[in-house]
Every structure is written in C-alpha cells, then in structure tokens.
Structure 1
Amino acid sequence: MDVHASLLSAVGETPLVRLNRVTARLSTPVYAKLEYVNPGGSVKDRAALSMVSAAEEAGLLAPGGTIVEGTSGNTGVGLAMVAAQRGYRCVFTLPDKTSAEKIAVLRAYGAEVVVCPSGLPLEHPDHVFNTAVRIAAERPGGWHANQYDNAANPAAHYRTTGPEIWRQTDGRITHLVAGVGTGGTLTGAGEYLREAAGGRVTVVGADPEASVYGGGDGRPYFVESIGHVLHPETVEDRWPESYRPEAVDRIERIGDRESLLTARRLAREEGLLVGGSAGTAVAAALRVAAEAGPDDLVVVVLPDSGRNYLSTVHDDAWLRHWGFLDGDGGGPVVGEAGSVPIGPRLRPADTVRQALDVLAGPSGARPGREGAALVTVAGTGRPVTGPDVVGSVTARRLREAVDSGAARPEDALSAHLAPAPPAFGVGEPAVEALRALDAARGEVALVLLDGHAHALVDRAALRAVVEGVPGTTAAGDRPEVPRTRPEPAHR
C-alpha cells in the first residue's frame, strides 16, 4: 500500500512546478518548489521535524516536555504538528503583526500563544525571542527550539530540500532562489546544490528592500516571515547562525509593493495561492531569469500558502488601506487631494524641551495652522511606516502643559502625546476618509503610500476633491502625492 506510517513521514517530497504565464516573455525556465503542500502548510515543517528529532536524540527534549519557540507563525505550526504527533505541549511567542489566520491555526493545534509587541529593540525583555527564552526556562521540561541558531534547521534542507531539487531537475538547475528569513532553507539547500553541481549553481537570496541582509536600513516592512528588521534602539545586531552569508552568491532586494502584487499575480495567473514572501522570492527569480539564458534553469522556493494571508495580502481593502493599491475607479481617492509634507518627526523618548525647540524652528511651521509633529518609534533618518506613528504633539499643547505645571521641560514626550492622526491609503475613497475625519472631529490625516507615512491631508482638501475641485487645500504649499502603479493586468 502507498501509505504513510504517520503524518510526519509525509513531510518533504514536494512538487516542482513550472511557471508559465508570469514568465511568458522569458526564455529561461523557472520552476517553483511548492513547499505549502507539506502537511503543516509550509517549508518550516522540514526544520521543525529536524529540530525536534535532534533535540530528542541529544536528550534536550524528554517525553511530556514543552516545546517553546518565538515565531512569525509557520515554524510554530510545524512544531505544533510534530508536538501533537509525539505528545508534547507547546507554547509560541508571536509578534502582534502576525496574521490572524496564523494565530488561529496554532490555537487549533492546541498550542498556547503569547502575542508580543513588535516594535521593540532586541534587548527588550518583552521581545518575542526573549519572551520565548524566559518561558522555556520557567516551564518544567521546557525546550527552546531557537530556529535562528539551531544547526538542525539548515541541516534539514541540506538533507532533504537540496537533494529533492537536484533529483527533480535531473541535475540541470543553475540558479536557486529563496527568501532569507532564518536563512535555513537558502543555506542548507544552497550548500548541497553547490556541492552536487561542483559549484555551478548560483544561490540567490530574496530579501525585503528594507531588510539589513541585503543592505537595507532595517525599518519595518509588510511581508511576513522573511528578512531581518533592525530596531533603531537595538544595541547589537545579531544575525541568525542558521544563515551563512558565504553560502549565498547574491541578494535581490524586493520592495513590499512588488512582493505583494507578485503574490497576487501567482494566484490569478498561475493558480498558486501563496503568501507575500513567496511573492518576494518569485519577483527575485523573475529578475534572475531575465538575465539568464535558455540553457539555464531557475528553481524558486514558495514557502507557504496564501490561506494564511486572506485578510492581508489577498484582501483588497487591506492593501488599499496601506497604500499598495489605487482606487477602483468608483470615485475620487485620497491620493487625488492636495496634501502637505509631513512636519518634524519626534520620538517618545525625546523631552518636552526638545520638542518645543524643534517645533519653534522653520521645520515646525505649517501653513494655515499650527505646526503638529508626528511622534514615531523609528529613527528620524529612515522612512516611517504607518504603524510607527504613535502620537502627535503641537507647540501650543506643550506650552500650555508646561505653563500649567502639568508637564516639565525634562519630561519624556511619551507622557504628553495626543493620538496619532487617522491614516488612509492613497487609493482609499476620499469620501470615506472625509466621513471618518468628520466623525473624529479631526483636522488632518496621514496619507499612506506603500505602507509609509507619505504626506498629510486636511479636511478642506478632502472635501474639495469630493466636491470635484481636486488639488484645492487651505494648507498652502502642496506636494504631489504620486498615484501608485496599477496592479499588473491579469491575462
């Protein structure tokens, strides 16, 4: 009988499928390794099984023990699946930006989920990683999987993923493309394929544009489970031991927009429902194939299913809110309203005195109204995403607080913040933004373009565009908010 003794023996041996429509103008064949057909739904099943087996052999995980891991979701699902098969309890710490679907899946496996704030420096005790370490130490029989530094992670791909690709392509592969998260897939499979081909295979890492792996500034981005974020207050930037940079020949940096829209193209043009990190990998693979020749063969790893991202990557309203989609043609959108540049940016740890000094300067002046500053968790030297904005302040509000004794000049600004302005994507309907601003009795809103705080728009400008007078605003000098590129046409 063609059966498996248990679910765990079904991990691996995933199919390799040629891409056809998204590669229509390319002479180089591109094949996708469909890791989402693993029983737990992602490439992380391989690492999860490998890490648990290695821990058992080393005596680190005893019967009845508890598996603990910090994860963005997929590794947790793989570990939860293994735990269910082998009788372990499991606890997972996740950042609060993790999709609701992933959290629901973990709980469906019986796992305990601890959601942690995502905007913390690595040294903070409540960081996802540190919380996992603490829980593992506190629980009797606790074992911290630590996928980032666990040698069994890349070993799984050296032992299984690499050999499968070599066999499936009959040794013809010339380029391997995969996203860089923990680095396990790229390092393990890449090292095997290089050895098998005598160095002939080029290993390419697909990385979010902002990730530090490829030279980005480490600011937050919107593609989950990939890349490396660097909080501006992190003291030491520690890279995973699972990632060996010498195993990678080059890095392709892919922006959020290209990643997300490529993932949507794969669903609509190839029938492959995948997540945003698969979009990153395929976007990189298409660049590689465009430079290669007809005798080359590119393999790209698709790490997980789009079923985990139905409320994000594959949801028009979510994409439109964060400024990744234009309007649907049904009426004027926020990006068509006149806008003004964002003023000075402060951080919660700045003092009231520092804020007043900044707001008194030329950059604090706002035409037509008193200058308001955005307060963000990110350093001022890099772009700010919408979630980075934690509040706003005005010089008048701060001066009144100081004069009344409610604030001292040396106080941290965090104690005296007004709420952050409401945020709208450039492609959201202007009438809805105006209605929300009226309901909140607000005067100004944040305009998001590709997830970043791009500009400010006031109520008068929104009302003008809704009433058919585009570009009119009481705010004076107005930069153009660029319309986003249209979503790729679906043939």
Structure 2
Amino acid sequence: MEVKNNILETIGNTPLVELHKVVKGMPCRVLMKVETFNPGHSIKDRMALKMVDDAEADGRLRPGGTIIECTSGNTGMGLALAACVRGYRCIFTTSDKQSKEKLDILRAMGAEVIVCPTNVSAEDPRSYYSVAERLSKEIPNSFWFNQYDNLSNRKAHYESTGPEIWRQTDGQVTHIVVGVGTGGTISGTGKYLKEQNPAVQAWGIDTYGSVFKKYKETGEFDEKEIYPYITEGIGEDILPKNVDFDVIDHFEKVTDKDGAVMARRLAREEGLLLGYSAGSAVAGLLQLKDKLKSDDLVVVVIHDHGSRYIGKVYNDDWMRERGFLDAELKVRDLISAKKQEEAFAGINRDDSVRQALKLMKEHDFSQMPVLNGEEVVGSITETDVLNYLLENPMEHAEQPVRKIMRQPFPEVSSDLTLSELGRHITKENPAVVATDRSGRKHLIAQYDILQAI
C-alpha cells in the first residue's frame, strides 16, 4: 500500500504548471511552481518543518514545548501542522492587515493567535516581532522560531525547492521569479540553482512601501521607503538575515492593485486560485518581459492558496472599495453577472411592431436585436417603437419590424474591458452583442454596466 506515515511526509515535490493566457506576448515559456499542493497549501510548509527538525535536533525545542512565531499566516500553518503531529502548543503573533481567513485557519489548527498593529516599527513593543520575542522570554520551555533570521528557512529551499526545480526543468531553468518576504525561498532556491548554473537569474518581487529594492540598488536602508501597503506576504520594513542580496539579481516593485488584479486573472484564465503575492509575482514578471529572450525558461515560485483571500482579493466589494476592480472588469464579467435564464431574446424581422411592443413590455426590454433565423440583421429600441407608433396611425403597428429597424448592435469580444466597451455604447447605440465560451450570444446594455459598477 502507498501510505504516508503522517501529513508532514506529504510536504514538497509540488508540480510545475505552464502558464499560457496571462503571459500571452511573453518571448519565452513561463512555468509556475504551484506550492499550494503542500498540505498547508503554502510553500512555508517546507521551511516550517525544517525549522522544527533543526530546533529539535539541537535541543532548542523540547518535548511538550511551546512554538512561538510572528507570522503572516502561512508559516504559522506549517508550524501548526508540525505541532499537531508532534505534540507542541502554538502561539502566533500576526499583523492586523492579514486576512480573517488566515487567522481562522490557524485557530482551527489549535493555535492561539495574537493580532498586533501593522503601522508600528519592528522595535515597537506592540509589533508582532516584539510581542513574539517577549512571549518567548516569559513562557517556560518555549522557542521563538523567528523565520526572518532563522537560517533553517533558506536552508529548506536549498535542500528541496531548488533541487526540485532543477530536476523538473531538466536543468534548463534560466530565471526564477519569487516574491520576497523573509527571503528564504529566493535565497535558498537561488543559491542552489546558481551552483548548478551561475547564469541563472533570481528576480525578487517587492512591493511599494518596502525597503528591499532600494537597499539592493544603493546599499542604503531608507526609512522613507517604508509606508503602509495592502499586499500580503511580500515586502518588509526590516532586513531579514534570510535575504541574501548577493543571490538576488534584481528587485521589481509591483503595486497593490496590479498584484490583486493579476491574482484574479490567474484564477479566471489559468484555473489557478492563488494568493495575493502570486499575482504580484506574475505582474512583476510581465513588467520585466523586455529582459527575456526566446530561449529563456522562467519559473515563478508562488507562496500560497487563494482560499486565504476570499474576503479580500476574491471579494468584489473589497476590490471595488479600493478601486481595483475597474482595472479588470470585462464583458465576460457582465455576462457572468446576468441570470442564466436571461436568454438572448430577439424578434424576427417579419414580426410586427405591435409584437415587438408586447415583448418589450412583458420582459422590460429597452432594446432588442432583430433576427432572420439565427442571424442578427438589425436592432430596435423602445424609442424607435414609441416614435413610430406616435407618428403613425395605429394600423401601422402591424407593419413588420424590418421597416423601423436600425443597424445591428455591434458584436464585441468577451475580453473587452469596460473602458473599451464604453466606446461602443452610445446614445445612438445603447447595447452590444457578445458571445460566451459556450457559443451562446448575450445582449449587453447600459443597464448591465450600471449593475456591474
């Protein structure tokens, strides 16, 4: 029988998946190391287990002890898995910008979670770093793992993530793209790959409000670079010991908005429901596409699963409140929002104006396509019908619709954005026709746009 002894034995050996739609126009192939296949749905399972193993080996973590860690959620999840299997208590400190889903998951695994303010310095006694350090001094038989400076973090990726990527790409990888938080993933993975091929490039994805990029380029730790940001899991206001700036060749900053929008695109276009920082990583890669050649092979290493962000990135209200949703709303989103029973209703070109009026009243239509069989040959609006009936005797209501129809509504791609769609919908042309992936036609009118925004 193929049976794992416990859940910890399932960590690692995650798949590489090629990206297609979101990287259209890139000069080379782009693969993603999908770390959500780990049992805690995050790459942090790797380093959490390594830190526990190493702490047990040298006596820093003893039987019946308490695991203490400052975490954005994912490292906590990995440590909680180890604690469940090996019998430890867990206390985690985290910042108040983390998603509710992350905190609920940690509590579901039996951990105690203390939420600390984000907008304080690392040295402030209220910060999640300082609170974790204080608790480790106060609680007997406890150990603060400090993933930022615990070098078992990057060692885990040197021993597992790097070798896996080298083996899975048959040694053809030329670039890795990784969001940088503690720095363990990019530093450990990059070090291993560069030992196999010194030409491999390691590109770190940073966020606005973080110190990494400027420090790499100037050697200056500039506190003016530090300000609040929304993106979770990457960027720092400190310089963790796990960040090996000699391994990282370049840092690219990505806005909160671009990261969130790309995360949603990955879900919708690639079928990959991933975390916020995964969106940032791919968005950063697209910003760097001019640095790539046709024979390059890029591997994007992502951190966690989108289930951690259902109340944020994957929540339309949250996205809309921050002005993020308008950047990605497309015609297909309007189609998805329409009720399934809202069939593509039109009227035959030989039906009477009276029949058109009846249909419009019954279904509250403001406009309709005019059909000749399956073919759209024209269009009518309620204004067309009303003006015709007011200006002509009622017996003319029996005239065929083709007598008053105008040009067909334009047909547009379902990939059209709302801003692009706005150029097609005017006072004279109040609707468009779009076809979904199943080949079904839909009428998109001004009302549908108003409902969406």
- TM-score normalised per structure 2: 0.70
The 5 Å alignment of 1:158-237 reads 158-197=158-197, 199-215=198-214, 217-229=225-237
The 5 Å alignment of 1:58-207 reads 58-197=58-197, 199-207=198-206
Q: Distance in 2 between matches of 1:247 and 1:240?
A: 14
Shift of 1:290: 4.2
The 5 Å alignment of 1:77-476 reads 77-197=77-197, 199-215=198-214, 217-229=225-237, 238-326=238-326
Q: Distance in 2 between matches of 1:263 and 1:283?
A: 9
Q: Which residue of 1 aligns with 2:374?
A: none
Equivalent pairs counted in the alignment come to 327
Q: Distance in 1 between matches of 2:184 and 2:324?
A: 30
Q: Distance in 2 between matches of 1:275 and 1:285?
A: 16
Q: Which residue of 2 aligns with 1:10?
A: 10
Shift of 1:156: 0.1
**1:209-238 Cα distance to aligned partner (Å, 9 max, x none):** 331101281211111011013xxxxxxxx4
Provide the aligned C-alpha RMSD in A: 2.0
Q: Distance in 2 between matches of 1:245 and 1:185?
A: 13
Shift of 1:26: 2.1
Shift of 1:326: 3.1
Matched AA of 2:204: G
Native 8 Å contact 1:265 1:488 kept in 2: no
List structure 1 segments (4+ residues) > 4 angstroms apart after TM superposition.
485-491
Q: Distance in 1 between matches of 2:147 and 2:122?
A: 16
The alignment partner of 1:133 has SS state of helix
Matched AA of 1:108: A
Shift of 1:486: 6.2
The 5 Å alignment of 1:32-71 reads 32-71=32-71
Native 8 Å contact 1:68 1:91 kept in 2: yes
Native 8 Å contact 1:29 1:289 kept in 2: no
* Cα distance change, pair 96–280 in 1 and its aligned pair in 2 (3 A): same
Matched AA of 1:223: T
The alignment partner of 2:204 has SS state of strand
* Cα distance change, pair 487–289 in 1 and its aligned pair in 2 (3 A): farther
User: Which stretch has the larger CA shift, 18-27 or 177-186?
Assistant: 18-27
* Cα distance change, pair 162–143 in 1 and its aligned pair in 2 (3 A): same
Shift of 1:488: 11
Shift of 1:275: 1.1
Q: Distance in 2 between matches of 1:21 and 1:259?
A: 16
Shift of 1:250: 0.6
Q: Distance in 2 between matches of 1:488 and 1:177?
A: 31
Matched AA of 1:201: V
Q: Distance in 2 between matches of 1:307 and 1:279?
A: 14
Shift of 1:288: 3.6
Q: Distance in 2 between matches of 1:486 and 1:275?
A: 25
Native 8 Å contact 2:151 2:242 kept in 1: yes
Matched AA of 1:301: V
Native 8 Å contact 1:93 1:128 kept in 2: yes
Q: Which residue of 2 aligns with 1:386?
A: none
Q: Distance in 2 between matches of 1:146 and 1:54?
A: 13
The alignment partner of 1:245 has SS state of coil
**1:58-93 Cα distance to aligned partner (Å, 9 max, x none):** 100000000000111110011001110110000000
Gaps of 5+ in 2: 215-223, 331-416, 422-435, 438-453
User: Which stretch has the larger CA shift, 20-29 or 96-105?
Assistant: 20-29
Give aligned-pair identity as a percent: 49
Q: Distance in 1 between matches of 2:113 and 2:57?
A: 27
Matched AA of 1:303: H
Q: Distance in 2 between matches of 1:488 and 1:284?
A: 24
* Cα distance change, pair 204–486 in 1 and its aligned pair in 2 (3 A): farther
